[in-house]
Amino acid sequence: MNRSLIDVHILQTLPPSNVNRDDTGSPKSAVYGGVRRARVSSQAWKRATRQAFHDHLDESELGERTKFVVEKIAMKITELSPHLENAPKLAEEVLAATGIKVTPAKKAKKSEEQEEQAATGYLLFLARRQIEGLAALAVEAGASSARIEKKAAKAVLQEGNSIDLALFGRMVADAPDLNVDACCQVAHAISVHGVQNEFDYFTAVDDNGSEDHAGAGMIGTVEFNSSTLYRYATIDVDELAKSLGSVEAAARAVDAFLTAFVTSMPTGKQNTFANRTRPDFVMVTIRDDQPVNLVGAFETPIESNDGRMLRAAQTLVEYAARQDDAYRTAPHAQYALAVGMADSDELSEALAQRAELVDLPSMIERTVATIGDRAAVPA
């Protein structure tokens, strides 16, 4: 199979918002090009993307990230074999057989205390198929009173990856042979311009306050900013196909990822700011050389008093062209979407010779088709 890398470049404007905050409640930020920028962490947008997968994929194609895997396995054991009375114990044993350390369940010392569930020492990312596989192994061992083989238990977690697990990977400190390399990388989104945070001073009135207690029942502040963000992600389609077992499965994963990543939004303070927007500019590039993050287009901040989106989109497209010309590389295919302030004749002309302007469903359809076509051609 020819090498296929998918780069996703997005420009998106957020109104006053605080979608991703630090330990002090302030919107996250970073210094880039010597200027303080708004920032949304990679983890925040990956979480939003994984949550959006539930709207586009069947639950059987997804995984779960939890400390309480033992409980999940025990529930599946009971579902497979209701007559087994020691499902929790079998669940602990089968998970321990993989090499993952499990803290056993602890009985409550006092009647009012709740029993502590068996748990791993960290969040563990497993495909639902893997949970089902471990449960089946435990049922087999429980029915025959046989010992659970470590090799067989590990094998369950070394195959049958879910789409989200293959994309974002898994690290298991206790058993490195169960690690799954991520096939997708997501950059921290940063604003294309400098940002200064602002404060919203607010008061709340007590509905049952008496005339003797006139005034605010609560006073506080919320920190926020508004920004035009550059977002970037890249997918190694070849590795994704290996992790999922087929090119068809990889194509389905790419379809779901592009839809979810483009349209998702971290949920921080969303009820306060109602900041859910869509990107004005999206460019998907299929390459065979290396991933190329185009954040360098914005090392010099975009400054403008009449909107930044159009200038940012033009700067991004021009920078991408100069990069490919300088390194004598050319994308195998490139698709772009431009709406709102990014939709202009000037930008269309700049894109004309390098990208095809399409809507989002067409962009995803053609990207997936291109992956299939390239996979069909021997390397």
Cα-based torsion angle of the residue sequence 237, 243, 245, 250 in order, rounded to the nearest 10 degrees: -30
| Rounded (5°) CA angle 126-128-129 | 105
Q: What is the pLDDT of residues 185-223, one digit of tens each?
A: 999 999 999 999 999 998 888 887 767 666 677 888 999
Supply the pLDDT for residue 110: 65
d(CA 164, CA 182): 9
For 76, the token pair is 């599946």
The beta strand positions in 97-144, using DSSP E, are 102-103, 119-120, 124-127
Q: What's the pTM?
A: 0.92
Supply the pLDDT for residue 379: 47
Helix axes 150-157, 128-144, angle to 10 degrees: 160
Residues of the chain below pLDDT 50: 1, 378-379
Cβ burial, residue 365 (10 Å; 0-12/13-18/19+)? middle
For 289, the token pair is 């050389």
Supply the pLDDT for residue 310: 95
Supply the pLDDT for residue 376: 54
Supply the pLDDT for residue 375: 63
Supply the pLDDT for residue 204: 86
Supply the pLDDT for residue 150: 94
